[in-house]
Amino acid sequence: MQGPAYPAYLSLSRDDLHDRAYRAVASLADCRACPRDCGVNRLEDKWAACKTGRHAVVSSYFPHRGEEGCLRGWNGSGTVFFSHCNLRCVFCQNYDISQAVKPGPAERGSPPDEVAAMMLALQRQGCHNINFVTPEHVVPQVVEALVVAIDHGLSIPIVYNTSGYDSLDSVSLMDGLVDIYMPDLKFWSPEPSQTYLKAKDYPVAALAAVKAMHDQVGRLQIDQNGLATRGLLIRHLVMPGGLGETRSLLKWIASELGPDTYVNLMDQYRPAGKVSQDRYQEINRPLTSDEYLEAHEFAMGLGLRLDSRGR
């Protein structure tokens, strides 16, 4: 336990913040914001894998009351959902905003002042934090908007809620701005990563990114009100027939990051996205209770610090 939240960014000088924003925006000229390394000039509104040009596209923002208890508290987590994604998860439960939406002239994106205004509105509603959902491909734009929001009085913790497919450059840009990292760890092996995420290098990239996140913020810290204030919270979705992947990831977490790492072992897999297609029949079913129980018992055996919402 610890005292009231004190966001890390409040310790940075105005010059430091504006220099960070300048460097972030400049990096868009040769975009390496994620492991796709597309190298396009997004300052000219060009895009590649992420289908996002100069400005981030916000799908929605609102106080989210369905997040982990240590994030949602009693007023909700102030989520900002970004459209598009740098992964192509065939089972994505947000497929309509991550992959199905098509970029075009009508989708101009939100300039930094608009994204900053969203954050400040969520703060005024009493949200306990600002929770960026799927920010991997818009980290420079997030930094740019954050600096504007901080200049105008933002003072609550920042949650970076990611698939884990992040570049180390982006994680470095967020150092000192993010209080709570909440990455997914999806797959341990290249084969299922290629099949289900369309990113064979996902395990290498995600494990390196999560290690860098842990190095920045350490174990998850909870205040006297039960709210997370700083640290790492890992999510892992247990997949049907995927217990081998789950065991390997959990063993890595326990050995490389420590058994006090906070893990939300999620049981809510359901067929979604493209899973109804014949080539994904092996995951075209819900997770069974026995599968989840086996994964949960394995995690308990490693001594991991588990979120309390599992079955």
Question: Domain holding 174: CATH number?
Answer: 3.20.20.70
Averaged pLDDT for residues 211-220: 98
Q: Is residue 292 part of a domain?
A: yes
Q: What pLDDT, on a 0 to 100 scale, did the predictor assign at position 278?
A: 78
Averaged pLDDT for residues 71-97: 92
Q: CA distances (Å), 249 to each of 85, 162, 188, 242, 256, in order?
A: 23, 17, 6, 11, 10
Specify the range with the lowest mean pLDDT, choosing from 43-52, 177-186, 252-261. Answer: 43-52
Q: Is residue 169 part of a domain?
A: yes
Averaged pLDDT for residues 202-223: 98
Q: Is residue 2 part of a domain?
A: no
From 140, 180, 174, select the one nearest 157 (Cα to Cα). Answer: 180
Q: What pLDDT, on a 0 to 100 scale, did the predictor assign at position 103?
A: 65
Mean pLDDT score across all residues of the chain: 94
Q: Is residue 301 part of a domain?
A: yes
Q: Is residue 311 part of a domain?
A: no
- Give CA–CA dist 157/123, Å, rounded: 10
Q: How many domains does the chain have?
A: 1
Residue 191 CB burial class (10 angstroms; 0-12, 13-18, ≥19):
exposed
The answer on pLDDT for 2 being more than 60 is: no
pTM: 0.95
Domain enclosing residue 202, as ranges: 8-306
